[in-house]
């Protein structure tokens, strides 16, 4: 529908269309990075924006950019999020932010063209590759390469559980480009909160001013295969018992700091995983998060001190194979202030929040001034097919994002 005005109604219609890619029976989506469903939604987004004059490009790790060059040679205000999802996910996580960014830029393109406005910066919509990290690790892979935190060659060689590389997955959906993407002067992202604080307090717009610190670990618990039916307890080296004790200890670490530290084990794989074999190897991914770095360090140290006791109790060895993480870091205060002013001008209740989850903007803010916005999630439910944000909140978010991008493009933070 080229030429159709980018109204609120059109946004909601487009969101309904987008939600059909990889749709699940229970109202969610399954469109992990680089799958056929991801390819379909990327082609749909490309057509939507190309029809309005945007130049759609892919960089060397599959980040998708739709560029509108209004000022030849000037850098871009880059606004976007990610379309990839968890295996059984909600419709809003990431996808809402990409579509909101597309509509913000469509609105500004129409406005600037009608008024003859020449902004200071160009506009670009971005769909970052593999934010979720469920198919390819680490999460936020595309934005990590874009911001120079991860080597492109390393990223392209990452394999999924079936042995398929990022390069092969991107080639299979025709989304492997070259180059490093556009030059960014400012970035913006809008996302659902994935928590319940905004909903609980009747706030429409969260102004993200910092991210929680995270320590992530891959542990491998090594035991010894044995017959479950004939091997007496004293002779066992049960990797699953050791792993289970580690899962329980991780929760205990969080319980020592109620509301201040959270811990999780989301992934755990057992080998050989036969009913009658004592497991010889368990691999698991564990993370600890806190807004207060001293508490994170305390909880982390406590958990690591427990490992020796677990090794002894289960007669196993626990190997820490990989770790990464990030500290508490602020978003640029001038960006938070700009967004606060926009929300106030639009009469929308807003307040600063800290993000517990990582986002592509967590990477981007470290290299370019970045504004991050949240809209409420019903009951805080996320990474779940029941994830929901109301139409009214989605539309309020699009309005705020549009105005933030407008001011950034016009140079509000340029000096």
**Does 342 interact with its own copies (rule: CB under 8 A)?**
no
**Does 3 interact with its own copies (rule: CB under 8 A)?**
no
Residues 300-339 that bind its own copies (CB under 8 A): none
Q: 282-310: string of b/e by CB count within 10 Å (b at 16+)?
A: bbbbbbbbbbeeebbebbbebbeebbeeb
Pick from 73, 163, 202, 259: which binds its own copies (CB under 8 A)? 259
Residues 208-237 that bind its own copies (CB under 8 A): 212, 214, 216, 224-235
Q: How many other CB atoms are there within 10 angstroms of residue 25's CB atom?
A: 6
Which residue number, 114 or 234, has a Cβ lying nearer to its own copies?
Answer: 234
Tell me which residue of 68, 54, 76 sits closest to 408, measured CA to CA: 76
Sign of CA dihedral 68, 74, 75, 78: negative
Smallest gap from Cβ 225 to its own copies, in A, equals 4
Is 93 flagged in the annotation as binding? yes
Measured CA to CA, the distance from residue 406 to residue 410 in angstroms comes to 6
Is 393 flagged in the annotation as binding? no
Residues 14-73 that bind its own copies (CB under 8 A): none
Smallest gap from Cβ 245 to its own copies, in A, equals 6
Q: Do the beta carbons of residue 188 and residue 128 sit within 8 Å? A: no
Residues 383-402 that bind its own copies (CB under 8 A): 383-385
Which residue number, 277 or 348, has a Cβ lying nearer to its own copies?
Answer: 277
Give the tokens for residue 326: 């990030």
Smallest gap from Cβ 218 to its own copies, in A, equals 9
Q: Do the beta carbons of residue 69 and residue 183 sit within 8 Å? A: no
Q: Do the beta carbons of residue 102 and residue 15 sit within 8 Å? A: no
> CB-hemisphere CA count at 13 Å for 28?
19
Question: CA 270: distance to chain centroid?
Answer: 27
Q: DSSP E strands: which ranges in 149-260?
A: 184-192, 205-211, 213-222, 226-227
Is 103 flagged in the annotation as binding? no
Q: Please list, in sequence order, all residues whose beta carbon lies within 8 angstroms of the beta carbon of residue 71, skipping any fewer than 6 positions away.
A: 118, 119, 120, 121, 122
**Span from 16-24, 59-67, 173-181, 354-362 in contact with its own copies (CB under 8 A):** 354-362
Pick from 248, 301, 312, 414: which binds its own copies (CB under 8 A)? 248
**Span from 58-66, 169-177, 188-196, 404-412 in contact with its own copies (CB under 8 A):** 188-196
Determine the straight-line distance between the first and last CA of the chain, rounded to whole angstroms: 38
Pick from 43, 120, 196, 222: which binds its own copies (CB under 8 A)? 196
**Does 265 interact with its own copies (rule: CB under 8 A)?**
yes
Which residue number, 79 or 280, has a Cβ lying nearer to its own copies?
Answer: 280
Which residue number, 267 or 329, has a Cβ lying nearer to its own copies?
Answer: 267
Smallest gap from Cβ 171 to its own copies, in A, equals 24
Tell me which residue of 48, 80, 52, 45 sits closest to 68, measured CA to CA: 52
Smallest gap from Cβ 318 to its own copies, in A, equals 14
- Whether omega for the bond prior to residue 272 falls within 30 degrees of 0, making it cis, is yes
Give the tokens for residue 35: 């799958």
Pick from 23, 110, 268, 378: which binds its own copies (CB under 8 A)? 268
Residues β-bridged to residue 263? 288
Q: Do the beta carbons of residue 295 and residue 302 sit within 8 Å? A: no
Residues 74-113 that bind its own copies (CB under 8 A): 86-88, 93
Which residue number, 122 or 194, has a Cβ lying nearer to its own copies?
Answer: 194
**Span from 107-115, 172-180, 241-249, 392-400 in contact with its own copies (CB under 8 A):** 241-249
Measured CA to CA, the distance from residue 76 to residue 54 in angstroms comes to 13
Residues 123-152 that bind its own copies (CB under 8 A): 132-134, 137, 139
Which residue number, 368 or 381, has a Cβ lying nearer to its own copies?
Answer: 381
Residue ranges for the binding site? 82, 93, 132, 191, 383
Residue ranges for the binding site for Zn(2+)? 82, 93, 132, 191, 383
């Amino acid at each position: 529908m080229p030429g159709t005005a980018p109204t609120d109604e059109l946004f909601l219609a487009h969101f309904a269309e987008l939600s059909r890619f990889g749709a699940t029976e229970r109202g969610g989506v399954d469109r992990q990075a680089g799958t056929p469903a991801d390819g379909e939604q990327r082609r749909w987004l490309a057509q939507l924006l190309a029809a309005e004059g945007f130049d759609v490009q892919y960089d060397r790790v599959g980040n998708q950019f739709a560029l509108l060059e209004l000022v030849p040679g000037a850098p871009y205000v880059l606004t976007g999020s990610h379309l990839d999802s968890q295996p059984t996910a909600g419709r809003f996580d990431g996808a809402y932010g990409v579509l909101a960014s597309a509509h913000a830029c469509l609105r500004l393109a129409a406005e600037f063209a009608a008024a003859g406005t020449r902004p200071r910066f160009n506009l670009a919509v971005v769909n970052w590759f593999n934010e979720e990290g469920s198919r390819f690790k680490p999460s936020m892979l595309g934005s990590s390469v874009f911001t120079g935190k991860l080597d492109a060659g390393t990223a392209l060689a990452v394999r999924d559980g079936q042995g398929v590389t990022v390069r092969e997955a991107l080639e299979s959906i025709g989304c492997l480009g070259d180059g490093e993407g556009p030059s960014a002067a400012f970035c913006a992202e809008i996302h659902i909160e994935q928590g319940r604080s905004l909903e609980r307090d009747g706030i429409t717009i969260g102004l993200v001013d910092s991210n929680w610190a995270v320590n992530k670990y891959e542990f491998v618990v090594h035991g010894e295969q044995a017959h479950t039916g004939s091997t007496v307890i004293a002779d066992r080296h049960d990797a699953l018992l050791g792993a289970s004790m580690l899962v329980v200890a991780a929760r205990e670490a969080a319980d020592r700091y109620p509301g201040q530290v959270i811990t999780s084990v989301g992934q755990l794989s057992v080998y050989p995983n036969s009913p009658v074999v004592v497991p010889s190897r368990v691999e698991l991914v564990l993370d600890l998060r806190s807004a207060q770095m001293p508490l994170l360090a305390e909880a982390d140290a406590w958990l690591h001190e427990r490992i020796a006791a677990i090794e002894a109790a289960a007669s196993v060895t626990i190997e820490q194979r990989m770790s990464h993480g990030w500290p508490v870091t602020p978003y640029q205060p001038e960006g938070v202030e700009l967004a606060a002013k926009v929300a106030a001008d639009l009469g929308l209740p807003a307040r600063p929040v800290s993000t517990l989850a990582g986002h592509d903007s967590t990477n981007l803010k470290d290299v370019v001034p970045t504004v991050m916005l949240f809209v409420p999630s019903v009951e805080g439910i996320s990474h779940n097919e029941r994830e929901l944000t109301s139409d009214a909140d989605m539309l309020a978010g699009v309005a705020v994002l549009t105005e933030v991008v407008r001011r950034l493009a016009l140079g509000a933070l340029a000096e």
